[in-house]
Structure formats: C-alpha cells, structure tokens
Amino acid sequence: MDPKDLYKQTLLKHSKSPHNEGELIDSTHQAKLTNSLCGDEVTVYLKIESNSIQRATFTAQCCSICTASASMLTQKVQGLPTEEAHYFAQKITTQLQDKDKPLVLSADDELQSLEGVKQFKSRIRCATLPWEAMLASLASSSE
Amino acid sequence: MAKPSNTIQPPAIPDILQKAREDFPILKRTVNGKPLVYLDNGASTQKPQAVIDVLNRYYSNENSNIHRGVHLLSVEATSAYEEARHTITDFIGANDDSEIIFTRGTTESVNLVAHSFVEPQIQAGDEILITHMEHHANIVPWQLLCERTGAILKVAPIDENGALDLEAFKNLLSEKTKLASFVHVSNAIGVINPVAEMIAAAKEKGVPTLLDAAQSIQHMPLNVKELDCDFLAFSGHKIFAPTGIGVLYGKRALLDEMRPYQGGGDMISTVSFEGTTFKEPPSRFEAGTPHIAGAIGLKAAIDYLQSIGLETIARYEEELLKYATVQLRAIDGLRIIGNPAKRAGAISFVMENAHSHDVGTILDTEGVAIRSGHHCCEPLMKRLGVSATTRASFSFYNNHTDVDTLVSALKKVSILFE
Ligand SMILES: Cc1ncc(COP(=O)(O)O)c(C=O)c1O
C-alpha cells in the first residue's frame, strides 16, 4: 500500500488550510461527534433558513483525513437545500463504507479525493465522521 | 533551535537476548510487504513459541474442567492450574498461593478490589485517591463506586513533564482515604512512579494501596513483599501470555475479610436456599469455570521470562529506550511528550504537522506497528496539552534496527506533511 493513494494532493491541501473552520456564532443547528477509537472530535455548525443551508462551518480536533473531509463538506453543502444535503451525506458515507463499490461523485468534485480511505479500513471512519456529524446536526432541533 | 545530535551507539544485545527474537514466530511475518516492526507492546505483547506450545499441549492432551472431576484429565488440569498460581506466587514474591486470584486482567482486578474490598467499608464523604496519569481502568471503576456510595475521587496532580507531585499525593492522604490506587509505569508516557515512597506514605496514614502493575511487571523485577503494597494487578496479555487472564494479588489478611466478587460455582462451600457459605480465598473470588488454558499459558510466559531474567531485560530495555529517545529527538518537528527522570516501556510523541492517526497509518505502510490516540488516558492527555500522541512501546525482543526503521518511517511522515 502506498500512503500517496490515501493522502492525495487535494486532500492534503484541505487538511493544511481548511475552509470554514471555526464556530458559527449564529448557527441554528450543531452537533459534535467523537470517534471513540482515536478520540477525534468534530463539531458541525449549520445556519439553516427556509430549509436551506446558508452557512456551514466546523471545529475539530482530528487527523488530516477528517479535517479535509470536514473542510470539503462545508464547501459542498453551503447553499444546498437541507434535504439535498441530507441525501448527499448519506450517499457519500454509504459509498465510503462499501468496500465493493467505488466512490462515484461528479468528475470535478474534490470529495473524490477521499476515495483512498477505502483501501485503509481503519481510516474510513475518519472520512465519514464529519458527514455523520452533519446528519446529527440536521437532526438536532433548532433553538 | 538546533536539534540535539543523534550520535549514540546502538545498545549491545546481551547474549541471552540474541536469540530471543526467534522465539516469537509472529515477528517473522510481514505487514504490507515489509518485515513487521512491532512497537505496540504497551497494548499487548507477542507470545513466544513456549507459550503457544503449552496452549496446544493443554488443549490436545489435558483439556478438562478443574476442581470437579475425579477422572485423570480433571486432576491433571487442576494441578496445572494450581501450579500456575504457585509460579505467580514465586514470581511476585507473595507469601502464599491463596494471595493470587486469577481474573480476566488488570481491569477486572481493579473492579474486584472496588466491589469486594472498598465498597463494603466506604461511606459518603470518604475518599479514593488516584493520580492524574491513570489508565481509564483505574479511573472509571472508582467513579462508578463514588456514584453508588457518595464517596469522593481525589486526584494527585502531575507536572508538565508528566511526573507525579509526590508532596501533593502525600497531602491528599487522610483518614478519609479508603484506598490509594495508582499506576507503577504509565502506559501512555512511560513514566515510572516513585511507588516505594507512595506506598510508604500511604502506610504511614493507614491507607491501603493498590498498585497497577500492568506496564511494569514485564519490564522490571517486582516483589510485593518489598513493595509492601496491599494489592497488585496485572494482565497476562501484556506479559507474553494469552488475553483473558490476569492476576490480582492481595494480602491474605485483607482477602479473608472481603466479600465475594461474583457468585457461582467453585466459590462456595455449601449452597442451600436458606443460605450459602463461601470458600476461603482465592476460590471465593473465582466464580465459575476460569480461563484454565490462560493461567497455564501465563505460567509458561513467566517461566520463559525468568529463563532470561528481568534484571537483564530491564538493563537492556533502558539502553534501547535511551537510544530511541536520542534518535527520535533528532527528527525535525517531533516532540516527545512526558519527560520523566525514569522511563520504562514507552515513548510518546507528537509531530508538528501530522496528526498521530496519520502517523500511525503511514508507519503501518512501512510495517511499523505503533499506537496512536489517547491511550485510554484522556485526563493525562488533557493535562499535557495534547489530544492524541503516537506511542512506540518496546519489549526485550525489539532491537536498534526496529528503532532505525521507526525513525526512517517518521522521516517519510515529515516529508509528506511538511
Ligand atoms: C496501566 C494500565 N492499566 C490498566 C490497563 C488495562 O488492562 P486490561 O485491558 O488488560 O485489563 C492497561 C492496559 O492498557 C494499562 O496499560
């Protein structure tokens, strides 16, 4: 196994300078999840208005894969209707977890750079954790 | 800041250890196409052929239940199990075989002390004293006990190097303290605690002590009479024996006063619906069919270890750790976490740009097995200002080539994440 299959350039770029990192003061939804295996922690903050995600940010104490996944997540879901974000989060987590099927996103989707985790079983959860946190965040009731 | 120089001679391997590596079949395998470099001995140690053979022999020839049948197999299994107990008595310098209780491991040993020794005599407002560097196994059982009883968990502080504040520990001992329970060697950062002083201080205040020897028993000679601890716990799988077997040593006078841990077969004298009487220690604390093969495997592991000698092992490992420390310090961006005056077993570190989980994956692709994460010591990690570390933990079968492979793999990490 070559670590370069896992740590693709796009992924490293996002992990070194993540987008939308920080608390979102006027968030309407948020949820924090922990990977008990390694102690990684991700919180996803969403600002939802009229069933659409206006802003998405995250805070994390986690590895490069998790950070990159969270960074790309916030870029991906910003502006999406909640239902669509929900659908996409489910799709990408299922695809990442399914060892028999490839990850198929649109050709220019940076999230494609996560596909390397499929070869590294112990790292799949690192990639899915932010998406699970977003799903939990969507399910959290707004205050 | 200039990096410290890394000119240090690799330690000489004592004659008796030259061949030891060959006694461990798993060390011959490859991982991801590379020879296995096993540096996760803190999590679990590998098993020598002698232990594997004994398990094989037991299941092929002796397997039976103990303390039950009059038939030959049962008699043989019983005597093998009790011989194993005796080996442990001698190994840790206990007075009598009845002071050795077989458990599933350190975790169960601690829970047994909490349930059978502390709980019956503790009241709301009483205290349990631990330290800030404990494994979760020596934190959570006490938290649960405190929840049930209204007792208070006191935590002796450590400094930023990971060393215990001995004065603070002493000051926290009082007539309210029902037990002081602490780790001998930290699994997360390798610090050796001044346990002789800690036990003496507790004695002075009349406080009983439980020593978590999970990470010391395989690295240094240990004698419960010299230490004078009241209880001592360790796990078989960290001392070259199978998983699922461990030991609780307790002074007989204390064991005599303790209530059973679990109820079931083998721990009773007589059972009737009017009332049941319990056996004497150690049987009182060993309800049900135990891990017979595990106990026999543990004996084989200890016999093996003693054929090498723990003094030899301690001396060699100290040199190997020194060598590793110097080599690791010389890596750019690597910071060792915990800087103890005395170290055994483990070195923990963080890398400037790479998270420990990423370090672990890249090392794995090089065949190097280490552990990354919080090492079941979340409070300790928080105190030292890190959320996770990479830990290389050593055994006598490791050598300087293992260290060199680790170091060159870490250099690859630095390059990828620079
Ligand atoms: C210091 C220490 N205490 C307790 C334990 C728990 O041991 P076990 O999981 O074998 O019960 C460990 C295991 O990692 C340990 O390192």
Interface touch A39/B374, C-beta < 8 Å: yes
Domain around A8: 3-139
Facing residue for B355 by CB, picked from A4, A37, A63: A63
Find, among B243, B116, B133, the residue nearest to B192 by Cα.
B133
Q: What is the mean pLDDT of residues A4-14?
A: 91
Structure tokens at B267: 């721990």
Is the domain spanning B51-307 CATH 1.10.760.10? The answer is no
Between B378 and B95, name the one with better pLDDT.
B95
Q: Which chain B residue is nearest to residue A38, measuring alpha carbons?
A: B373
Whether the pLDDT of residue B211 is over 70: the answer is: yes
Are A37 and B373 a contacting pair at CB < 8 A?
yes
Dihedral sign for Cα atoms in the order A58, B370, B315, B306: positive
Percent residues over pLDDT 70 in chain B? 99
Q: What is the CATH number of domain B15-47+309-416?
A: 3.90.1150.10
CB contact under 8 A, B32 and A1: yes
Query: Shortest CA distance to B392 belongs to which of B402, B401, B382, B383?
Result: B402
Between A and B, how many residue pairs show a Cβ–Cβ distance under 8 A? 50
Q: State the Cα angle at B227 between B225 and B231, rounded to 5°.
A: 80
pLDDT tens, position by position, B29-85: 999 899 999 999 999 999 999 999 999 999 999 999 988 778 989 889 999 999 999
Q: So where are chain B's domains?
A: 15-47+309-416, 51-307
Strands, E, within B33-151: which ranges?
A: 34-35, 37-38, 100-103, 127-131
- Which chain A residue has its CA at the smallest distance from B375's CA? A38
CA distance B77 to B64: 6
For the segment B299-343, what is each residue's pLDDT rounded down to a tens digit?
999 999 999 999 999 999 999 999 999 999 999 999 999 988 889
Chain B interface disruption, residue of A2, A5, A62, A63, most B CBs within 10 A: A63
Contact A6 B387 (CB under 8 A): no
pLDDT at A142: 57
Q: How far apart are CA B168 and CA B201, in angstroms?
A: 11
Report whether pLDDT(A143) > 60.
Answer: no
Whichever domain contains A106, its CATH number is 3.90.1010.10
Q: Is B376 annotated in the active site? A: yes
Q: Is the pLDDT assigned to residue B1 strictly greater than 50?
A: no
Mean pLDDT of B99-123: 98
ipTM for the assembly: 0.85
The structural domain count of chain A equals 1
Please answer yes or no on whether A6 and B374 come within 8 Å at the CB atom.
no
Atom of ligand 1 nearest to the CA of B185: 1
* Residue to mutate, B182, B219, B235, B381, ligand 1, most ligand atoms under 8 Å from C-beta: B235
Q: Probe ligand 1: pick from B44, B103, B106, max atoms within 8 Å of CB?
A: B106
Distance B113 CA to ligand 1 centre (A): 15
Which pLDDT tens digit goes with each residue over B235-259? 999 999 999 999 999 999 999 999 9
CA distances to A69, A86, B294 from A28, rounded to whole Å, are: 22, 16, 55
Q: Which residues, judged by CB distance below 6 Å to any ligand atom, belong to the binding site of ligand 1?
A: B 105-107, 135, 137-138, 183, 187, 212, 214-215, 235, 376
Q: How far is the CA of B237 from the centre of ligand 1 (A)?
A: 10
- Select the residue from A7, A12, A59 to test the B interface by mutation, using most B Cβ atoms within 10 A: A7
Residue B209 · residue B231 · CB < 8 Å: yes
Contacts of A65 in chain B (CB under 8 A): 357-358
Please tell me which residue of chain B has the smallest CA distance to A67.
Answer: B355
Check whether B110 has a pLDDT greater than 90: yes
Q: What are phi and psi of B245, to 5 degrees?
A: -130, 140
Q: Which atom of ligand 1 is nearest to the CA of B375?
A: 14
Query: Under DSSP, is residue B133 helix (H, G, I), strand (E, B) or coil?
Result: coil
Closest CA to B170 of B159, B157, B187: B157
pLDDT at B340: 86
